């Protein structure tokens, strides 16, 4: 009987491992070519892996919750009834490998909690045009949003890791509020519920009430990236208070004047940042430590720090400098919504050259942010509130905010960083000066 071993495929984006979230098949099941056999969670997204063989499942080479390495055995299929190529290799498997090497997007199917049942499995890359981005450093892995169908009114917990976390914490699944799309309970929902209860975790009664949460998936990716940033980048932070009264008025005026497109405050801030950054190209850089070189980019690939149910994400708007304010506002709205619902393609979570962080949404004034490695700068803006301010020698109340940047001291000195920050501040205090020719 022929036995074929299918290894965990290359997941793209430089990812080397994934956590098994849920097996869709068991030993003895019959599988068809392209049938989804397992859901895994990577540092970028949740993805479903289809099988390139048909036959009977002989062995699953990992349990739910295990970390699997790319290239290691994932599943063995026996009695594979597939046509052979001239060299004896299964045709379906060869086609699968060709698609994987070509980056066709047919290999992995990613999904987020913001989408309902599709009624059928879609192969990514065939139902929508591929996105081409010149000069963007991001890899071009494509994913398609799809959500496994559910039945009845049962509590929806797609991940056994989430289910175990809830049960170990002594929580009833029916009592957890689901923020995910279509009532799906996410890890963030469970963690919020745990924070609001005094029940000691049932699985760890002898450890002083400590709940152990595996550092995997996107949480591990965040930890690794920020730890690397702190270890490698000699960063410095500067900040300034700014009168944002004119900014808020400009945003209100623009909202009603650009073809009916809603212009968010974040879009205006992003545009002002881009205009200022073009005057200080030193900051649109990364450092190649191995080569001992600074890589300065012509285009600005703008990352937007966003807090989501899956953790901190930094979706990237590629070549943001080529968009006018209206186009930027539309792309920003689309990108942040995809990140919020967990359905953003993995390729749009990397390749940034500069990050904007609106931490004011958390009700705080300032932050010494950690640079999003391997970038060189992160610009943050705090909440905008009424504060006393001196205008033309008179004390008055104005809308005031604080700007701060953390910058890599290897790419520039304080004069450049301070000049950039002061320019952004000047634009915020007089946005018409910057936006006059940018619409």
Are 106 and 125 in contact, with CB atoms under 8 Å apart? yes
Residue 278 to residue 300: CA distance in whole angstroms: 9
H or E element that contains 416: helix 414-429
Nearest Cα to Cα of residue 439 among 243, 244, 275: 275
**Measured torsion, CA atoms of residues 214, 216, 219, 224, in degrees rounded to the nearest 10:** 110
Our answer to whether residue 409 is catalytic in this structure is yes
Write the DSSP string, 234-303.
Answer: -EEEEEEEEE-HHHHHHHHHHHTTSTT----HHHHHHHHHHHHHHH-GGGSEEEETTTTEEEE-SS--EE
Given a contact cutoff of 8 angstroms between Cβ atoms, the answer to whether 272 and 431 are in contact is: yes
- Cα separation values, 154 from 173, 174, 194, Å: 10, 9, 21
The DSSP call for residue 90 is B
Question: Cα–Cα distance between 302 and 266 in angstroms, integer?
Answer: 12
CA distances (Å), 410 to each of 97, 335, 367, in order?
Answer: 41, 31, 21
- Report which of 187, 156, 161, 158 is spatially closest to residue 174, judged by C-alpha positions: 156
Residue 181 contacts residue 116 (beta carbons within 8 Å):
yes
Rounded-to-integer distance, Cα 141 and Cα 14, Å: 11
Q: Which of 61, 115, 373, 409 is catalytic?
A: 409
Phi-psi region of 103 (alpha: psi -120 to 50; beta: other; left: phi over 0): left
CA–CA separation, 358 vs 379, rounded Å?
8
Backbone torsions φ then ψ of 391, nearest 5 degrees: -125, 115
What's the chain's length in residues?
Answer: 439
Q: Supply 397's token pair.
A: 């109340």
How big is the CA angle at 173 (ends 172 and 174), to the nearest 5 degrees? Answer: 90
Active site residues: 409
């Amino acid at each position: 009987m022929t036995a074929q071993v299918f290894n965990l495929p290359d997941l793209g984006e430089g990812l080397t491992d994934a956590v098994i979230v849920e097996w869709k098949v068991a030993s003895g099941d019959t599988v068809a070519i392209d049938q989804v056999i397992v859901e895994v969670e990577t540092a970028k997204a949740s993805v479903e892996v289809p099988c390139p063989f048909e036959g009977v499942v002989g062995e699953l080479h990992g349990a739910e919750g295990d970390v699997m390495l790319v290239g290691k055995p994932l599943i063995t299929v026996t009695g594979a009834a597939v046509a052979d190529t001239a060299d004896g290799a299964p045709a379906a498997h060869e086609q699968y490998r060709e698609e994987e090497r070509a980056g066709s997007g047919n290999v992995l199917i990613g999904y987020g909690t913001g989408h309902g049942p599709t009624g059928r499995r879609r192969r990514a890359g065939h139902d929508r045009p591929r996105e081409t981005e010149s000069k963007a450093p991001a890899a071009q892995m494509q994913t398609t949003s799809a959500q496994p169908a559910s039945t009845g009114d049962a509590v929806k917990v797609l991940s056994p890791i989430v289910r175990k976390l809830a049960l170990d914490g002594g929580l009833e699944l029916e009592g957890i509020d689901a923020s995910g799309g279509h009532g799906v309970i996410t890890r963030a929902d469970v963690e919020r519920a745990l924070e609001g209860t005094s029940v000691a975790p049932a699985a760890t009664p002898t450890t002083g009430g400590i709940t152990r949460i595996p550092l995997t998936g996107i949480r591990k990716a965040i930890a690794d990236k920020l730890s690397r940033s702190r270890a490698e980048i000699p960063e410095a932070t500067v900040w300034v208070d700014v009168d944002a009264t004119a900014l808020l008025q400009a945003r209100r005026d623009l909202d009603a004047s650009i073809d009916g497109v809603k212009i968010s405050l974040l879009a205006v801030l992003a545009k002002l940042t881009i205009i200022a950054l073009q005057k200080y190209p030193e900051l649109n850089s990364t450092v190649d430590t191995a080569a001992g070189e600074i890589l300065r980019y012509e285009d600005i690939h703008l990352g937007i720090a966003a807090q989501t149910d899956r953790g901190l994400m930094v979706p990237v708007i590629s070549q943001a400098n080529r968009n006018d304010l209206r186009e930027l506002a539309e792309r920003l709205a689309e990108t942040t919504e995809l990140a919020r619902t967990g359905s953003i393609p993995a390729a749009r979570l990397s390749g940034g050259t500069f990050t904007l962080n609106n931490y004011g949404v958390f009700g705080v004034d300032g932050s010494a942010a950690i640079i999003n490695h391997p970038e060189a700068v992160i610009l943050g803006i705090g909440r905008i509130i009424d504060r006393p301010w001196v205008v033309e020698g008179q004390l008055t109340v104005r809308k005031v905010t604080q700007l701060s940047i953390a910058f890599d001291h290897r790419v520039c000195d304080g004069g450049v960083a301070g000049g950039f920050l002061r320019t952004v501040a000047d634009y915020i205090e007089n946005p018409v000066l910057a936006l006059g020719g940018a619409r």
